[in-house]
A and B are shown apart, each in its own frame.
Chain A
Amino acid sequence: MNVNQHTPMASPYGQPQPSFGQPGYAPLDGSYPAPYAPYNGPASAYQPGAPPQGPVRGPPTSGPPPVSAPQQYNQYSQSQGSMQNGPPPPTQAPPRPAVSQPYNQGAMNLSGPHPSYPQHYGPPSTMQQVTNQMTGMQITSGPPTAAGPGYAPPHSSQPPVSTGYSAAPQASYTQAPPPVSSAPTQPPPPSGPAAPQQYYSGPPPSSQQPFNSSLPPTSQQQQQFTSSVPPHPPPQQTLPPSSYSGPVPTQSQPPVPPVSQAQQSFPTPQPPFSSAPPPVSQSSFATGPPPSAPGSFPPQGPPPSSQPGSFPPPGPPLTSAPSCQYPGPMPPQQQPPPSQPSPYHSGHHPPRPQMPPTSMAQSNHLPPGPQGPAGPPGPLQQPPSQPGMQTGYPPQQNGAFGQVRGPQPGYSGPYPGQPNYGAPAPAPPAQKRLDPDAIPSPIQVIEDDKAKTTEPFTTGVRGQAPPLVTTNFQVQDQGNASPRFIRCTAYNMPCTADMAKQSQVPLAAVIKPLATLPPDEAPPLVVDHGESGPIRCNRCKAYMCPYMQFIEGGRRFQCGFCSCVTEVPPHYFQHLDHTGKRVDCYDRPELSLGSYEFLATVDYCKNNKLPPPPAFIFLIDVSYNAVKSGMVNIVCQELKTLLDCLPRENPEVESAVRVGFVTYNKVLHFYNVKSSLAQPQMMVVSDVSDMFVPLLDGFLVNVNESRQVIESLLDQIPEMFADTRETETVFGPVIQAGLEALKAADCAGKLFVFHTSLPIAEAPGKLKNREDKKLIGTDKEKSLFQPQVGFYSSLAKECVAQGCCVDLFLFPNQYVDVATLAVVPVSTGGSVYKYTYFQAQSDQERFLNDLRRDVQKLVGFDAVMRVRTSTGIRATDFFGSFYMSNTTDVELAGLDCDKAITVEFKHDDKLSEETGALMQCAVLYTSCSGQRRLRVHNMAVNCCSQLADLYRNCETDTIINYFSKYAFRGVLSNPTKAVRETLVNQCAQILACYRKNCASPSSAGQLILPECMKLLPVYLNCVLKSDVLLPGADVSLDDRAYLRQLISCMDVAESHVFFYPRLLPVMKLESGSLPVAVRDSEERLSKGGVYLLETGLHLFLWVGASVQQELLLNIFGTPSFSQIDSNVTSLPVLDNPISQALRELIYSFRAQRSRYMKLMVVKQEDRAELIFRHFLVEDKSASGGASYVDFLCHMHKEIRQLLS
């Protein structure tokens, strides 16, 4: 890449420069501004551009970045902060001019790297990311121009140019303003756009041609849109990229120019900026430098907000800084530092400029473009706002964090090519600490993605990466499964095993077969192929899907997976149209959609008999602890109403699910609740060594028929055991009982077990307390994660055979051995909920919400999942809550809408770029009404023979999902330390491979990250620091085991927020809009602020010590910090907008998660803050986990070791 890039870059640069950068550069001093301006312009322009689209968009999109900035501002620089916090649009406008730079910079820094890349590549982003990158550059430049206007003010001189660009970018971005934008775009872009267009045309041939061809306009538009959307992000992303990648290259090239500009304002800081900067640089350049840069900078600088802060202190090092630090030791770095600043600046500028140019060039030179791939697409994408979109691409290049030694020296060099990518690590000198703002910011990436996602995501295009899980978007199924069902780590898989091995990028998909769709997306349609069942390939048994090619006039079809030709049964025959498509293609979901369901015939049923409706059995611990904690009472009360909410497919019809009840301590009590009884009857089974079900008739009943008896029972249970003194419990027999009951009724079903203590009573599955903290950290630690006895594993097997899913609710006061108790739930597709030290008053709400959701949620039973793939790859490993008796069939006694299964693929042959890689996930299950069905999800991804394509189409969130599951399973068989090392190594290899094969050559001291993976280090660090892999002293073994199993069935959205919690400032909430999150670091918190942090499991409201009285009054109803009751679990209902908005926000958070999050109010400097700090994952953790900055340095070192 690098090389290619370089060359192309250089050349492109040159070229582009002329058009974009050069002008800008030229101005460098003078002309530079122009280029910057343009760039910046874009950024700013975007925002401004927004206007055209409608203030809304502009603001929102741009909003995010600004917000972040604002936050920073708020935190650090109040003035701007407030401004920005305020209404995005206005803020932006005003702040920008003045502060904009900092902002941008901040943004830049954070996203900086992205931006630059994005810009360069970014533009192309969308589908044609690769090309886009190239284009991105241009686009970036384009955008900049657009931004120009915004910033224009600053760059008075450049404005014109920028405007031109801006116009273009805007157009592209704006899509919203389609007309205008489009118009503008085209016109302005002349140079850029033109190229892009050409590229477009050109690109099509590459990979995206189809798209283009098919949807040339649309695609473009889309792209543009995307790009347009991206623009915002792009700026950030691009910036970041640029900053990263930029840094290096930047440094070299940009150094001068940027330096000049940026430096002016922020001598040192800029470097960081620059690194991060590209975006920043842009903005900064645009606004920063020229206009008020100085003034604004200072403030910013101090604020340390993201950018400023970082700049000033660590200064320039930023990205480089990290590298610097690491490199720190390294002499080279130091060297660079001195000059770095300037390099940075210059670098920045250059990079971007270059980028654009490069991209341009690349686009032009498609072939030459090192980023060849990127290049080509770039062009296409370029025109659009792809830059933004393609952030991904740019990042790759941009990723460079390393100090920019080269930059400086290479200054000139950089210009030519790399400047864009490499972010110089100038700061070497004084910087002992890397500037956190200079390193890739998750927030920035998230916000960028949000900003660029304005259109529904259509799944028709193969290999198209969906928006991030943090982005709200709509999905249109056009032949591939929605990302809500399947997300892949890579949307462009390497063709060969060698490539895959070389890159070490895991090829995996996270599949959530029964995922709940938002109301505006239609659930999978049901297809009935009649008595003979679904049509399937004769050989591989793949189900009819859009990948089946009909031939011979429609009389046969060729399987897309195994190429076998199968006769079309007469009843399914249909003529083909002139394109070879069946005439009824769009009338049949299985021929046109990615996801649908087949009605299964008896051949797909156990014993060739249609299944009866499933049953729910509630098994309640009534031992002393259970009664005393209030659990028994709560459960019984709740069940009375909950039983009306049993899952049903048609809300009009009463649920077919039957229910049964069991209570237990060391013996079991079954209840006969037959409708004909006046009173329920209790049947005690004490023979727990050989469990059986004492009754048949009257145990499983229809709720409505037996309502009176059931209610009587639920009223009496708490009374009956109110005075119990029994403290011992059994567990194995409890599950056996439920299992036997289902067996007796010959149906599948779900057990809800409410359990409190370690089952020490004499019975099968009896456990000992084996919690031994001394084992932690030793080679024997793994045994603590393994089940204590083999009993539960074999029990689980029996459960699966019967379709008996077990959900476990734990209420422990001490060690209960979750590792062992969870075996059955985990193997049966069930869930485990844990309420340690459960107290009715404070935990009731959480428990009840979880219970309600768990009971009501859509669930399938007795399921078997099979993933079929194209010849060439094969599903080899599976992670999740299920059981496997062979290597291909994932058996799930129960499968609910929250369960995801991560599937890893390995090559067993070559894939072809032409056909891509197909996968089909078919899940056979029994619905809650007892219908046997097959849910089919199809997914096609591209295949590549260039590593760069792989790196350009990865999704880090999904990779992290895979890594975490892989690692958390690894602790079962390996010392945790080894697991951690494995993770670090693989990650280092991935990045090193990129650096070696895809990035433009640059100094070894430079850290270059692929755009798509620039967050890999920060997220991976979060995984490494998790309680499972690196427990603090206060983390119990049970907690770790609990988390371990919890992760195993998380989807990407859940694992993302789990590892990188969402932290929102809520000082200035407005109903209906979400504030931009801040990074999970203590230094991002303002003493005067209030923040909401959510992890999917926990929800904290952190209150700064010097929060304004008014805010406290509004939120807590008390003016005094000291009077805030940190024991409350809900906020008082106050009639003011802030309170209302905050409560709405909390409500919406909870609604998004599969588990209810109990609210914890944490006051600054309170003891509880320790818990809270645990979730500030960018900081050093109490248990010894590295801070983000430190880890990044460490990662850099690892990579360098691999490279050397």
Chain B
Amino acid sequence: MGKKQAGTGPLSRRPDNSAFKQQRLPAWSPSLTAQTVLPTFYILSLVCLFLGIWLLITVENTYELKVDYTNAGTCERCFEMRKHAIHTRTTCTCSVNFYVPKTFSGDVFFYYGLRNFHQNLRRYMDSRDDTQMVGRKNNLKAPSSYCAPFDYDANGVPIAPCGAVANSMFNDSFTVRYYPTKGPEVQVPLYRKGIAWYTDKNVKFRNPPTNNTFTLQQAFEGTIRPLYWQRPVYELDDTDHNNNGFINDDLIVWMREAAFPNFKKLYGVLNRAQGPFTQGLPAGNYSVSIFYNFPVEPFRGQKELVISMVTWFGGQNYFLPIAYLVTSGLILVAAIVLTVVYVKVGKKGKNMEE
């Protein structure tokens, strides 16, 4: 009734004859007929089979090696030592030997892995200040309250970077050595830069503005390093000044919190410029020596060194190929059952004709 009365003719109140108003819009109305459902199932089964096989072959040729060094080799000592907080400042070095059975060809990536470390706890994840790490001057010295209790130290000096995430940064470092069958041992050269996402390195994490006269250290003046850190944030990398501060690659990698308690994070990429490593990582004996700093005993965690190849499909992960193969099989079984039912019970559609 609220509508305007268009005209006053005898049919002025007659509704419009539009397809929309009369609910006669042209439409595609698919329905579940045997002619569509059964072929779909068979085809999907084939597609999944094909994908599964292809992925399986790919993954079979992707090698991965995990070296658990939590208390292996000579690290037993360091493990014990890190149990107690008093020894935090004493350094501990240890090494673990391992054997690479097959040559890792192409690019080889070195990861550190942690088990049972919950980076995904809500309060832990919230305990960071992205505004501070984007290098805003105001926020640098006024960390967000989310960082508490890692926002200010006991003297009220702001912590940079603040929060539980940064505070708990993984601080073991590795030196990997290769023992060729002939000749002397060779240190495996690693790139320690370029291991973070481009967007993280260039957008998400920025240092406070500096220039020729105003150094990074000056920029961070008035802040203090996180409680558990040995070095301040502007001195994280001795070798490369540009890798210091919030844009330090290791820090960025750590700050990208893992979704699950068992995770691995990129440590370095094999430098294939020279020596025996031009084709990748040759098979043979290796050892890794570790600056063992990160305590895992309290939370019953484990630490490992992971060496891996990647393909177009990423690292070694058997889940997807197997899942596709299983799915393919299930769909095939379903398709057969459906066909049988269609023929026997549904009587090829006769059941539908009353």
| A and B held together in a complex | no
